[in-house]
Structure 1
Amino acid sequence: MAAIYSGIHLKLKSPQTPWEDKLKLARFAWISNQCLLSNKEQVLLDWCTHALTGWYSRKVEFPEKVLEGLWCYLDDLLHSRKLHTLLKQGKTISLRLNMAQFMVRSSSQDASLTLPFTVPTVTSMTSLLRQGEGLFTNPHHVIVVLGALQSVPLDHLTPPVYQSAFLAVHEALFAIIQCHPQVMLNAAPSFLNVFHRLLASIMQEGRQRGDSDTGPDSDAYLQCSRLIERMYSHIAATAESFTTLSAFMVAQYVTELQKVTLRPSIKQHLTEGIYRILDLCLEQDIKFLTVGLQMGVREVFNELYSSYTHYHKAQRQGEDKYTV
């Protein structure tokens, strides 16, 4: 048997080997102790991701059945007890950042892959981001992560899957704003583009729908709205990176708000969050918003700013006066 599987790496790379046979060889190589291959786990992971990259970039062709088999094989590898045991023992298995970006973008083309691949890949990138600027020495790597986050699906998902995807993106953004402050000075627009996807999606999912406004599904969306409020607070605390963009953020918010009627519980959290951004706005920002927005959006802003002035700003000024 060992003789049959000798030179397996060459057979996996050979264009003469049928793809169905390559998959069988790769599966055997992963589980068998008879396959002696230097750095076997890394080699097989690289082979699988390279094959998937080739298919999605249209550099190689194979049947849909093989494509499905490759994704299943990758799932088996990443979730195998063997791999986790090796990692606990200190063995390093690397997944290049551009490959992680590819996996997010590719798996996002199929909603059924969101939980098994897209979310875990984003979570892995977040773990790397949390290592801070000591690990991500090149600021471009953070931009690569932000580019990948743009591809995470947030539409046409069941509430549990939506919440998982939403949380994964939120945690990645939180890791960037917390662990990469220097990058944020230049990457704020890209960061806000990803955050706006979260905001726009929760406004769509959190709109009033009658009988479906309560229950477990509603709770999932409510949790996501709390994360939006939380992120607004973190953005406001990092005023150096976002002060010049505060009016832009408010404009984005009221533009999306004008399209829907939100559930009161969700609107409460989003409103409290945007109040933190209004705290950053200067007088000229308010004048710009009052004059520059389109008629319908301007009315929404005027209502928002009126409630902000009456409730939030007055309360904050009272607290400041009490503190003094």
Structure 2
Amino acid sequence: MASVCGETWFHFFLKETLMGLSWVSFLPETRQDLLVSIRMCKLLAQCQLDTVKGNAFLYAVPEAISALTIIMLHISSNSSSQQTMVLAVLETLAVLLRAIAGSLWNPHHVAQALQALQAVPLRNLLTREDHDVFHAYHEILHCILQLHPQVMLKASASFLCAIRHLLHSVMREGRQKADTNSYESDKDWVLRSAQSMERLYCQVAACAANFTALASFLVAEYVDELQKVTLRTDVKRHLSEGIFAVLDVCREADLNMLRTCLSPGVQEIFRHLYTDFQRFHQYKTRVRADTEDV
């Protein structure tokens, strides 16, 4: 509809959509209207628009991202918040971040998306909708790394905080459980989440040229959390493989800092992790390189 209607109707439709994201829609009786506006914003971002309409939409994206961030902050402060609304906001933010790739005027608007992530209530993730929220959260981090890496570097503290939020969720659900029925019911989703974290760590490592100073913080966060839980073997394998990719870009000075600054118990965990890294990961890397040369 948006791609075939006239410019006057398109501007009216765009204006109404942005108005629907306003603070007035936080009223309980207009909650459903707010959800519709969020989804309409997502549909607009996915439309194939001509130059005039496309430019008009791009100019509206910063306002939409700001509104969605405010909505997420409001949801997080509301104990009765629904995951349906959270999921809709995250999916729309991801689509908007893709829409403005290559035409970004102010990186602040992408940094706002990171602010919204920090407010996401990643709970026990017991339902399918909770799982979808996790993967929508991961998709935003993936978009920022892939399409807006300069923002990730400038807002590194917020980015690391967002990754930590995601890691805590995986490790909480990936711990070994005595209830075997519960284990079987959530085994597949937890494994997929661990695989997503592995890919995210590998993607961060690919930005090594400017990210080495922060890579050690990711390693420190992982080993610190590893001290608190006993992970399932399959979950630990994928998380460790991701951390190995990060270790691959750590400088010797960063490694020495980890050996010195970590608490004694965490130092022992790091020592075992680094031994495995040298024994398996670096060996696999050398074998892969030799195979490619042949």
Alpha-carbon contact 1:230-1:273 (below 8 Å) kept: yes
Q: Which runs of 5+ in 1 are unaligned?
A: 1-37, 54-66
Quote the Cα distance in structure 1 between the aligned partners of 2:94 and 2:17.
Answer: 24
**The one of 218, 226, 230 aligned to 1:257:** 226
From the superposition, tell whether residues 84 and 172 of structure 1 become closer, same or farther in structure 2 (CA, over 3 Å).
Answer: closer
1:176 aligns with 2:149: no
Distance, in Å, in 2 between the alignment partners of 1:74 and 1:132 is 23
Name the aligned partner's letter for residue 262 of structure 2: L
Aligned to 1:241: 210
Query: Quick one: distance in 1 between partners of 2:166 and 2:21?
Result: 31
Tell me which residue corresponds to 2:28. Answer: 68
**Partner in structure 2 of residue 307 of structure 1:** 276
Q: Specify the alignment match of 1:214 in structure 2.
A: 183
Does the CA contact (< 8 Å) of 1:258 and 1:300 recur in 2? yes
Query: Does residue 94 of structure 2 align to residue 121 of structure 1?
Result: no
The structure whose RCO (Cα within 8 Å, separation 6+) is larger is 2
Deviations 1:274-303 (A, max 9, x none): 010110112222222112110111111111
Distance (whole Å) between structure 1 residues aligned to residue 13 and residue 256 of structure 2:
63
Give me the whole-angstrom Cα distance separating, in 2, the residues matched to 1:250 and 1:217: 26
Secondary structure of 1:130's counterpart equals helix
Q: Aligned in 2, Cα 1:100/1:317: closer, same or farther, shift over 3 Å?
A: same
Counterpart Cα distance in 2 of 1:113 and 1:149: 15
In the alignment, the residues of structure 1 paired with residue 94 and residue 33 of structure 2 have an alpha-carbon distance, to the nearest angstrom, of: 23
1:317 partner amino acid: R
Greater shift in the superposed pair: 256-265 or 123-132: 123-132
1:232 corresponds to: 201
Instruction: Give the counterpart letter for 1:286 in structure 2.
Output: L
The answer as to whether partners of 2:170 and 2:190 remain within 8 angstroms in 1 is yes
- Provide closer, same or farther for how the CA distance between residues 245 and 40 of structure 1 changes in structure 2, counting only shifts above 3 A: closer
Please tell me whether the aligned partners of residues 115 and 164 of structure 1 are also in contact (alpha carbons under 8 angstroms): no
Indicate how the Cα distance of structure 1 residues 306 and 52 shifts in structure 2: closer, same or farther if over 3 A, else same.
Answer: same
Bigger mean CA offset, 150-159 vs 266-275? 150-159
What is the one-letter code of the residue matched to 2:24? Answer: A
> Structure 1 residues 153-162 or 307-316, which shifts more?
153-162
**Is 2:259 aligned against 1:286?**
no
Residue 22 of structure 2 corresponds to: 49
Q: Is the 8 A contact 2:244 2:277 kept in 1?
A: yes
Higher helix content, 1 or 2: 2
Q: Normalised by the size of structure 1, how large is the TM-score?
A: 0.75
SS in 2 for 1:214: helix
- For the aligned residue pairs, the C-alpha RMSD in angstroms reads 2.8
CA contact 1:111–1:153 (8 Å) conserved in 2 = no
Shift of 1:164: 1.0
Q: Is the 8 A contact 2:205 2:246 kept in 1?
A: yes
Q: Percent identity?
A: 35
How far the C-alpha of 1:84 sits from its partner, in A, is: 6.4
Which secondary structure does the structure 1 equivalent of 2:198 belong to?
helix
Cα distance in 2, alignment partners of residues 234 and 89 from structure 1: 29
- Distance apart, 1:146 and its partner CA: 0.5
Kindly tell me: are residues 288 and 49 of structure 1, through their superposed partners in 2, closer, same or farther at Cα, counting changes over 3 Å?
same
- Matched residue pairs, number? 271
Counterpart of 2:245 in structure 1 is 276
1:151 equivalent to 2:119? Answer: yes
Q: Verify the 8 A CA contact 2:208 2:249 in the aligned structure 1.
A: yes
Distance 1:201 1:263 in 2: 14
Q: Deviations for 1:188-235, whole angstroms, at most 9, x for unmatched residues?
A: 332121011101111011111121453232211111111000101111
1:139 to partner: Cα distance: 0.7
Query: Conserved in 2, the CA contact under 8 Å of 1:188 and 1:241?
Result: no
The alpha carbon displacement at 1:47 in A equals: 5.8
Return the letter of the residue paired with 2:34. Answer: L
Distance 1:97 1:138 in 2: 12
Maintained 8 Å contact 2:197/2:242: yes
Match of residue 3 from structure 2: none
List per-residue Cα deviations over 1:122-177 (Å, max 9, x = no partner): 11111111124434310111111110111111123424233111111110111111
1:162 to 2:94 alignment: no
